[in-house]
C-alpha cells in the first residue's frame, strides 16, 4: 500500500456491512478500490472473509468476541468493537464519527430505515445499499444530474411532494411507498422541501 493511502484513509467513504443478503461481491468491489475502513457485523464476517476482503473492525457482542477470539490473529490487525443489544448500526456510525470519517457506504440496510439516519447527515455523508438499489440523501432540497434513460425511486415520508424536471417536462410527484419514476436520457432535476432520498439501480 502506498503511503498516500495512510494520509487519505479517513477521506475515503468507509464501508459498514450489516447484511450481505441480496448483495454480491461484484456490487461492492468498486467501493474497495481506495482501501476504505471496513466495519462488518459479526454474523456477516464469514461471507466477507470468503470474498477475500480485509476487515478492519468487527462489530460484535461479548459472546461472539469470546468464541471468535481466533479472528484477531487470523485476520490481524482486525479489532472488535463491542456492541450491546444488537445496536450494530448505531455503534458503527458513532465509531466513524468519533474517528473523523466523513462518509460511509452502508451495505444491507432496509431502505425504509433511512429516515432514522438523517440526524447523522450533519456529520457523515451516507449512501445506503439495499439489494440492487443504492440510496443517497438530497440534503439541500435539489438534485441535478445527467442520467441515461433509467428508473429512479423517490423516497421520502409518505405524502411528500417533489417536483421532477426532465427533458420531457415538469411534473409534481406525491411520494407513496415505492414511488418509481422513469426518466429519459438527459439532465434530471428533482426539488423538494427538506431531505429526501433517491434510489438508483446499480448494474452488477
Q: State the average pLDDT over residues 24-30.
A: 90
Place 203 in a pLDDT band, splitting at 50, 70 and 90.
low
- In the chain, residues under CATH classification 3.40.50 are 4-131
Report pLDDT for 8.
44
Q: Tens digits of per-residue pLDDT, 137-188?
A: 999 999 999 999 999 999 999 999 999 998 888 999 999 978 999 998 999 9
- In angstroms, the CA 22 to CA 45 distance is 16
Q: What is each CA distance from 171 to 25, 163, 164, 167, 183, in whole angstroms?
A: 37, 6, 5, 11, 12
**Does 2.60.40 match the CATH number of domain 4-131?**
no
Which strands form 161-166's sheet, in the order they lie side by side? 142-147, 186-191, 161-166, 169-174
Beta strands 179-183 and 14-17 are: unpaired
What are the beta bridge partners of residue 37? none
What is the DSSP track for 8-69?
Answer: HGGGSPEEEES--TT--HHHHGGGGTT---EEEEGGGHHHHHHTTPPPSEEEE-HHHHHHTT
pLDDT digits (tens, 9 = 90+) for 39-95: 999 999 999 999 999 999 999 999 999 999 999 998 889 999 999 988 999 999 999
pLDDT band at 5 (very low <50, low <70, confident <90, very high): very low
* Bridge partners of residue 142, in order along the sequence: 191
- Residue-wise pLDDT for 30-55, tens only, equals 999 888 899 999 999 999 999 999 99
- By mean pLDDT, which of 97-106, 151-160, 195-204 is the weakest? 195-204
What values do phi and psi take at 191, rounded to 5?
-120, 145
Residue 21's DSSP bridge partners are none
Amino acid at each position: 500500500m502506498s503511503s498516500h493511502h495512510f494520509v487519505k484513509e479517513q477521506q475515503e467513504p468507509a464501508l459498514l456491512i450489516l447484511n450481505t443478503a441480496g448483495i454480491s461481491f461484484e456490487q461492492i468491489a468498486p467501493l474497495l478500490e481506495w482501501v476504505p475502513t471496513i466495519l462488518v457485523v459479526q454474523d456477516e464476517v464469514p461471507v466477507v472473509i470468503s470474498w477475500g476482503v480485509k476487515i478492519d473492525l468487527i462489530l460484535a457482542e461479548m459472546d461472539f468476541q469470546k468464541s471468535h477470539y481466533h479472528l484477531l490473529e487470523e485476520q490481524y490487525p482486525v479489532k472488535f468493537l463491542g456492541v450491546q443489544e444488537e445496536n450494530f448500526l448505531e455503534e458503527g456510525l458513532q465509531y466513524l464519527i468519533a474517528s473523523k470519517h466523513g462518509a460511509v457506504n452502508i451495505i444491507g440496510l432496509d431502505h425504509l430505515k433511512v429516515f432514522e439516519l438523517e440526524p447523522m447527515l450533519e456529520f457523515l455523508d451516507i449512501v445506503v445499499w439495499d439489494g440492487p438499489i443504492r440510496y443517497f440523501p438530497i440534503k439541500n432540497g435539489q438534485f441535478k444530474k445527467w442520467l441515461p434513460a433509467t428508473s429512479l425511486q423517490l423516497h421520502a415520508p409518505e405524502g411528500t411532494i417533489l417536483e421532477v424536471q426532465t427533458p420531457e417536462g415538469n411534473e409534481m410527484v406525491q411520494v407513496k411507498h415505492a414511488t418509481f419514476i422513469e426518466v429519459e436520457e438527459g439532465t434530471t432535476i428533482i426539488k423538494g422541501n427538506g431531505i429526501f432520498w433517491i434510489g438508483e439501480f446499480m448494474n452488477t
